Each structure stands twice: as structure tokens, then as C-alpha cells.
A and B are shown apart, each in its own frame.
Chain A
Amino acid sequence: GAGVSQTPSNKVTEKGKYVELRCDPISGHTALYWYRQSLGQGPEFLIYFQGTGAADDSGLPNDRFFAVRPEGSVSTLKIQRTERGDSAVYLCASSLSPQGGYGYTFGSGTRLTVV
């Protein structure tokens, strides 16, 4: 597609439930990133994929968070046993290359609300 697509755009879930957030990057972009943006804050790094592998997952807050990108294209961010503090906008971005200042193309995000 022309841009980065994220689904769903909004997700409301109960505390303790499991959720999956999907990201479909721009075709041909090998680098894929997940960021989290809380109200009044800038995006915060979660994880970076180069191809199929998670090259850097040091931004994941704890082991309830996990992400995959099995075929090097679509990625899924998975959150187990959701907590109210997980409520935020989850942004996905893709880039031609992780280096050299190419800049990221972001999706519109998934707004997750844990009640």
C-alpha cells in the first residue's frame, strides 16, 4: 500500500485481557518500528525489526509485551494480561533503511484503552 496501515484504529479491552495490534508497512521497507505515545508525550521506542528478526527489543517495558514479523512484512504487537497503564497510542513506522537519516513513515496508530 501507499502508507503504513495499522489495525484496529481503536481498541477497548478489559484489564487482564490479551490484545493484538497489527501493522502493515510500506512494501519494500525492511526496517519496522513500534513506538508508544502516551498523552502529552513524544513517541517512546519499543522494538525494531530488520527483516524478520527483532534487532532491538530493549524498549519493551516487560515480558507481557511481545512482537513478531514472521515474513518480514506485517508485524503484530501482542500484549498479555493488559493493565490500565498500557493505555496509549501504539504507533508503527517503517523505513527503507534504519540508518542514514532516511526518516520514518508512521501509521495513524492504534489507540488502546484498558478499562
Chain B
Amino acid sequence: TQLLEQSPQFLSIQEGENLTVYCNSSSVFSSLQWYRQEPGEGPVLLVTVVTGGEVKKLKRLTFQFGDARKDSSLHITAAQPGDTGLYLCAGEQGNNRLAFGKGNQVVVIP
């Protein structure tokens, strides 16, 4: 059983469109992190959210942590081909480890 469920698993959109991907769980997390991973590389940290209801922006990326700290969303505005990648969410439960979802594979077509 996956602790974190990410949806959709795969998403293909045209350049300039907006998209939202989701990371859901029935568990509460002390923090939640989003990473982007490209083929042959390790995940690269995008953001960490800690407070329930928190919203963080990173250029065209907006991250939201649910009020109950069980879920999160990532919204990309005006997607560009450089946004293509596997987006991984990872939750920390205070046990010094991260639990990862399977990821959202995003493809932005020029």
C-alpha cells in the first residue's frame, strides 16, 4: 500500500497551458516536499511545506499544503517544455525518513 498517492500518473499538455497535479494521503505529515526528477538523474528539491494551508510559489509553480497536512497540490501556470519531468511528493512523519509517492510524469509539448 502506497502511503502517498499521486494523480494523475501521466499528464501531457501543450506549451502555455496550465496544469495541476495532486498528492494525497490518509496520514498526517510534519512536512511535505516536492521534487522534480529527470531521466538518469536524482530528484531535485523544489519546495518544502510545513504549515497546514501553506502556499508557496516558485516562479510559475504554486505549491499548496492541505489544511490537515495530509495532501498537497502543485499547479504550473503557462507550462513550458522545460517543465517536463517526473514530479515526486515526499512526506516526513518525524521518523527521519521520507515516504515518496510514485510521481506525476508531466510532458509539455512545444
Residues of chain A at the chain B interface (Cβ within 8 Å): 4, 31, 33, 35, 40-45, 48, 50, 55-56, 59, 91, 93, 98-109
CA distance A67 to B96 in the complex (A): 17
Beyond A56-B95, A101-B50, is A93–B100 a contact (Cβ under 8 Å)? no
10 closest cross-chain pairs (CB), A and B: A106-B42, A42-B100, A101-B31, A103-B45, A98-B96, A101-B48, A45-B97, A43-B100, A42-B102, A103-B48
Query: Do the beta carbons of A99 and B45 come within 8 Å of each other?
Result: no
Q: Work out how many contacts link A and B, with CB atoms closer than 8 A.
A: 63
- Interface size for chain B: under 10, 10 to 19, 20 to 34, or 35 or more residues? 20 to 34
> What's the dominant secondary structure at chain A's contact region?
loop
CA distance A10 to B14 in the complex (A): 34
B88 within 8 A of A: yes
Residue of B nearest to A55 (CB): B96
Residues of chain B at the chain A interface (Cβ within 8 Å): 4, 30-31, 33, 35, 40-45, 48-50, 88, 90, 92, 94-103
Which residues of A have CB within 8 Å of B88? 42-43
Query: Do the beta carbons of A108 and B94 come within 8 Å of each other?
Result: no
Which residues of B have CB within 8 Å of A104? 33, 43, 45, 98
Query: Do the beta carbons of A48 and B96 come within 8 Å of each other?
Result: yes
Query: Do the beta carbons of A101 and B33 come within 8 Å of each other?
Result: yes
Most chain B C-beta atoms within 10 Å of own C-beta, residue among A43, A48, A93, A106: A43
Most chain B C-beta atoms within 10 Å of own C-beta, residue among A33, A91, A103: A103
Residue of A nearest to B95 (CB): A56
Residue of A nearest to B46 (CB): A103
Query: Do the beta carbons of A91 and B96 come within 8 Å of each other?
Result: no
Beyond the given pairs A91-B42, A99-B94, 15 more chain A to chain B contacts, judged by CB atoms under 8 angstroms and listed by A's residue number, are: A42-B100, A43-B90, A43-B98, A45-B98, A50-B96, A91-B43, A98-B96, A100-B31, A101-B31, A101-B48, A101-B49, A106-B43, A107-B42, A108-B40, A108-B41
